[in-house]
Amino acid sequence: MHDILEKSGFNPDANYKVVGTSPIKHDGYDKVTGRAKFSADAFAPGMLVGKVLRSPHPHAIVKSIDTSKAEKLPGVKAVITREDFPEKKAGTGAGDMTRIAMAREKVYWEGHPVAAVAATSERIAKKALKLIEVDYEVLPFVIDEVEAMQPGAPILHDYLRTKGATGADADKPTNIVERSVLKQGDIEKGFAEADVVIERSFDSKPMHQGYIELQSCIANTSDDGQVDLWCCTQAPWVYRDRLTAIMDIDSSKIKIQQSELGGGFGGKTTFYIEPLAVALSRKAKAAVKMTMTRAEVLKGTGPVSGTHAKIKIGAKKDGTIVAAQSELSFQTGPYTGSAFVNAQQAIWTRYDIANVETLCYEVVSNRPKVASFRAPCVPQIIFGAEAVITELAQAIGMDELDFRLKNAVAKGHTTIYGQKFDEIGLIETIEAAKNCDHYKSPVPEGQGRGIACGFWFNRGGETTGTMSLAPDGTVNIILGTADVAGSRMSMAMMAAEEFGIPVDRVRATLADTNALGFNRVTAGSRTTFSSGMVVVNNARQIIGELCSRAAKMWKVPEEGVIFEDGFCRPASSNVGDFEPMSMKEISSKTTYTMGAISAHSEMNVTGAGPGFAVHIVDTEVDKETGFVAVKRYTIVEDAGKMISPIQVEGQLQGAAVQAIGWALNEEYIYGADGRLQNAGFLDYRMPVASDVPMIDTVIVEVPNPKHPYGLRGVGEVPLTPGPAAIGNAIANAIGVRPTSLPMSPPKLLALMKSAKA
């Protein structure tokens, strides 16, 4: 255990020079000039182009694949199919991973890869795909998870049995991966105490993470089996270890270098084309570049889980919530991994409710395997949860924020999943919402205002990094965690603060997987927190070393030297009369002391501080068309202590607009043939600049004392209450409750029509 995890040294009264300012981020310059190198911006000598053949069917047995004609096409250097990947048992982690990358016995969704080609040009590769003959036995399919749960639904995997099922069904083939109950108290007794009970059903459709950077990679496999992989990823080490798991390649022979990441939001936490590129490169004995098209990204990579939710909640007249019961189902695509437990745990985390029961089903169906998206599974469930919270407050006749405040959790509360909250800022956040200009302003005529409160755990986990001092006294940081939006700069700022030097004297770069030990994925809002812990720990080690070197050079005891603002100084005049020695003076003389000064830390970081947010939204609904205009949007959130306020604001604002897209428009639309009908940005329409207003932020700072700079993760919290707040705003604007995401014009028109009837 590192000392820093026990004792962070956080000082609430410190006056920081760098932390809390908003300098220009170092990676910004290359991004405004076009020099930044994203995944598709690289080229290798002798590079081939790889393309994927994807299934046109949502569910079919792959009886045979004939690649002989494609192989004979001049310019084709390799064709791969399931035969090129070692067998891994179906239903295991590696078994699922290899089958997602390349279909084996069956195809499970429209877009499932069945073969791939490497050729001397993209044109030839595409032509070769057309020459591959796949013999499919087409099977009945099921898209929606509620339908997939019904008796008689097409079964995806004969081997699948429901985890947690009991009774007669426990040993029957099923599409239900897991049945899971999380409960506390006595739910019947709770509802018996309630004066008001609200019960409603909600649903949501899958939407996509929507990163603008298409997945692209270059794999280069040498004749002795060394794999070099360049790709955009939130998880270089996870990609490496998964390549090892499905391709039986020693991890030591795989070097993954992450590119600049052009958006991920959770969607680049797992690989898709990368194992195919490695297999093609191995077979072709050449570098292979693969880049997905937008249609491939939408059809072949992770959307979020679509859901259904039945929620029942009861409160006393005085505003105490006494019971909350829900039944939730989650689409996961053809394989497990929806992370539904996040929603099961987070559905009520804002409130102290004595009696809770949350039943969850994770269900396979013929859709692309879901992937993480900011607070996986949580926003679409909070959509329903915060709707019934608002309705309860209205039924009781309490101010919505007062109602939430009355039930709010505080320090010392133990959650249903066993976490005891330390310093948290929920109450401060709700109070700041009550006091903000938006909440205090009257709702404009013809509009509706919505409020919702969200939560995310924030994570820590395995993190490594190094730091070194150059002879000129500048500092280099090597990070293992991917930088999804500016974390390199936050790291440089924390280091600069530790050393008391300008942030321009510090640079952070992203490591390849050979340079450092294992790093968990950049996800869970863990990076600035966890890598920040490593950076501060390394800086403190280096400061200790600087003092030790100065002591040696001055020939005084180590405790006689202190470090301040980039200089070693005698601790007092008793130590001796020495001129302060700069980092440069010490590091330029390391030849005469003990060699270069550097530090490394490897930690399983603990102590992440949970985050809470309140969103306030004003909407106007066109009664003729059902179109919703978001007129005003304010996010109130506890960020702990901010490292770079301008970057924190950016996280919040971006999440708000993603929430607007999810709430109002974005969804996967399937035809009766089980094929995705809107696999392009024209029909899968994300918010554009003219769709949204400025996003106001009110940032509360309740520091997390477990971190040396008091920070909390801010990547995910700000998405969690978004769709719910917009739903509540629409309900108040039109006087009827929308219960289905997205709240698109046709749905709202139908809703208004049915309310009139």
Run of H or E including 190: helix 187-193
The footprint of another protein on this chain (CB under 8 A) covers a number of residues equal to: 60
Run of H or E including 29: helix 28-33
Counting contacts by CB under 8 A, is residue 213 touching another protein?
yes
Counting contacts by CB under 8 A, is residue 27 touching another protein?
yes
The count of residues in the chain is: 757
* Residue among 286 and 583 whose Cβ is closer to another protein: 286
- H helices within 102-164, ranges in order? 122-131, 145-148
* Residue among 107 and 695 whose Cβ is closer to another protein: 695
Half-sphere exposure of 540 (CA within 13 A, CB side): 14
Counting contacts by CB under 8 A, is residue 262 touching another protein?
yes
Q: H helices then E strands: how many in the chain?
A: 21, 27
Region near another protein per CB under 8 A, out of 1-9, 262-270, 432-440, 531-539: 262-270
Query: Would strands 321-331 and 475-479 be described as parallel, antiparallel, or unpaired?
Result: unpaired
Could you tell me the smallest distance in angstroms from the CB atom of residue 412 to another protein? 35
The torsion angles phi and psi of 202, rounded to 5 degrees, stand at -135, 160
Region near another protein per CB under 8 A, out of 61-69, 168-176, 612-620, 674-682: 674-682
**DSSP secondary-structure letter at 342?**
H
* Residue among 261 and 523 whose Cβ is closer to another protein: 261
Query: Would strands 740-741 and 196-204 be described as parallel, antiparallel, or unpaired?
Result: parallel
Could you tell me the smallest distance in angstroms from the CB atom of residue 440 to another protein? 22
Could you tell me the smallest distance in angstroms from the CB atom of residue 395 to another protein? 33
Mask 459-498, x = binds another protein (CB under 8 A)? -------------------------xxx------------
* Residue among 120 and 476 whose Cβ is closer to another protein: 120
Distance CA 149, CA 360 (A): 12
* Residue among 134 and 485 whose Cβ is closer to another protein: 485
Q: Tokens 């708000």 appear where?
A: 656
Counting contacts by CB under 8 A, is residue 140 touching another protein?
no
Please report, to the nearest 10 degrees, the dihedral formed by the alpha carbons of residues 557, 559, 564, 568 taken in order: 10
Could you tell me the smallest distance in angstroms from the CB atom of residue 469 to another protein? 27
Counting contacts by CB under 8 A, is residue 503 touching another protein?
no
Choose, by CB under 8 A, the member of 251, 293, 541, 598 that binds another protein: 293
- 3-state secondary structure labels for all residues of 78-119: EEECHHHCCCCCCCCHHHHHHHHHCCCCEECCCCCEEEEEEE
Could you tell me the smallest distance in angstroms from the CB atom of residue 507 to another protein? 16
Crossing angle, helix 93-101 and helix 236-247, to 10 degrees? 100
Counting contacts by CB under 8 A, is residue 212 touching another protein?
yes
Run of H or E including 297: helix 294-300
Distance CA 84, CA 279 (A): 7
* Residue among 40 and 432 whose Cβ is closer to another protein: 40
CA 205 to chain CA centroid, Å, is 18
Could you tell me the smallest distance in angstroms from the CB atom of residue 125 to another protein? 13
Measured CA angle at 418 (ends 416, 420), to 5 deg: 105
Counting contacts by CB under 8 A, is residue 130 touching another protein?
no
Mask 697-716, x = binds another protein (CB under 8 A)? --------------------
Counting contacts by CB under 8 A, is residue 94 touching another protein?
no
Write out the residues near another protein by the rule CB under 8 A. Answer: 22, 24-25, 27-38, 40-41, 43, 121, 123, 209-214, 260-265, 291, 293-294, 484-486, 646-647, 649-650, 653-658, 680-682, 686-692, 694-695
